[in-house]
Amino acid sequence: MPNIRHKKKKDAEYLILGTKYRNRLLSNTKISETDRVFIYDYSKDHQFLFWSKT
C-alpha cells in the first residue's frame, strides 16, 4: 500500500492501487471486474458509483 502519511489531505482522498493490491482487494471482497461499487459518504450525504474495472 502507498504511504499516505506525508501526503496532503486532498492527495490522500483516494488511492490508485497497483495490480497486486487491486486483485487482492477484489478477491477478498468478492467484487468482480464487472461489478459496480457504491460508496456512501455519511459526512456529505452523497452516494458515489464506480465501476470496478476502472
Q: pLDDT tens, 1-53? A: 667 777 787 777 777 788 898 889 889 999 888 898 888 888 889 898 888 77
Q: Cell digits for 8?
A: 496532503
Closest alpha carbon to 38 in 50, 46, 29: 50
Statement: the pTM of the whole predicted model exceeds 0.75: no
Where does the pLDDT of residue 54 fall: very low under 50, low under 70, confident under 90, or very high at 90 and above? low
pLDDT of amino acid 28: 93
Exposure string for 9-41, b = 16+ CB within 10 A, e = fewer: eeeeeeeeeeeeeeeeebeeeeeeeeeeeeeee
Any idea what DSSP says for residue 48?
A: E
